[in-house]
Amino acid sequence: MRKIESPFNLSWTHYLQLIKIENEEERNFYEIEAVSNTWSVRELERQYDSSLYERLVLSRDKEGIKELSRKGQVIAKPIDTIKEPYVLDFLGLEEKDRYTESDLETAIINKLEHFLTELGKGFLFVGRQQRITIEDEHFYVDLVFYNRLLQCFVLIDLKIGKLKHQDLGQMQMYVNYYDEFEKTKEENLTIGIVLCKQRNETLVRITLPKENHQIFAGRYQTVLPSKEELKQLIENKE
């Protein structure tokens, strides 16, 4: 196994976990991430069990997939922050439970450290239910973050059901507002993520601009994904 020069040395227990991963590219990815993020053995197991590698592969093109095994997760452009799907098993919301968007938001706030880890590198929490006022109308963004690597705001709206085109239009308005009134000249364009339970790919493609680099429809689930199912999706993608 290839060793990585780093001031943080992985323990023998880390490597016992890593050698269980048969796919070399996947193993290299987890080794790089464990080193760069100083993961404990428990966190390494958690990230592997949540299929982090497969979920990142599903949101990337071929060159982006190659980079995962060479450099780990590199955050250089908005699409690099996206996972497919986001796994929120730590919230304690069972897949068949009835819960509202407010319940989901509150559960995320109560487990904010875990949610930041799931979002990935460079994320800082700004606030919840952030008000936007346009003339005499008020709107509220569910969750606002800042990514220090991309140097931009990241807005997240939560949807517990199937994504609608109106949800994407609303997020576009939020992003436009932040770009015009909140971001500084030195900062990059705002990113908007509508995090939903179900998503129609054709609706997303038709609704969003062809040269879209700011608005994303992310899917979440509240239980750990099946590795076999994700690997099948990867094979179909290829």
Q: Which of 65, 49, 53, 52 is nearest to 17 (CA)?
A: 49
pLDDT of residue 236: 74
pLDDT tens, N- to C-terminus, the chain (238 residues) = 444 444 447 999 999 999 999 999 999 999 999 999 899 999 999 999 999 999 999 988 888 888 999 999 999 999 999 998 999 999 988 765 688 999 999 999 999 999 999 999 999 999 999 999 999 999 999 999 999 999 999 999 999 989 999 999 999 999 999 999 999 999 999 999 999 999 999 999 999 988 889 999 999 999 888 888 888 878 777 6
Task: Tell me the residue type at 126.
Answer: V
78 and 218 Cβ atoms separated by less than 8 Å: no
Query: How is residue 97 written in tokens?
Result: 């439970």
| Measured distance CA(57)–CA(79) in Å, rounded | 12
In which region does residue 80 sit, left (phi positive, over 0), alpha (psi from -120 to 50) or beta (all else)?
Answer: alpha
pLDDT of residue 212: 87
Alpha helix stretches (DSSP H) within the chain: 12-18, 24-36, 41-49, 52-57, 62-71, 101-110, 112-119, 165-181, 201-207, 227-237
Angle between helices 24-36 and 62-71 (to 10 degrees): 60
Domain ranges of the chain: 76-237
DSSP summary character for residue 78: G
219 and 43 Cβ atoms separated by less than 8 Å: no
DSSP summary character for residue 226: P
pLDDT of residue 52: 95
pLDDT of residue 5: 46
pLDDT of residue 227: 82
Q: CB atoms < 10 A from the CB of 183, how many?
A: 16
DSSP summary character for residue 103: H
pLDDT of residue 4: 47
| Region 76-237: CATH code | 3.40.1350.10
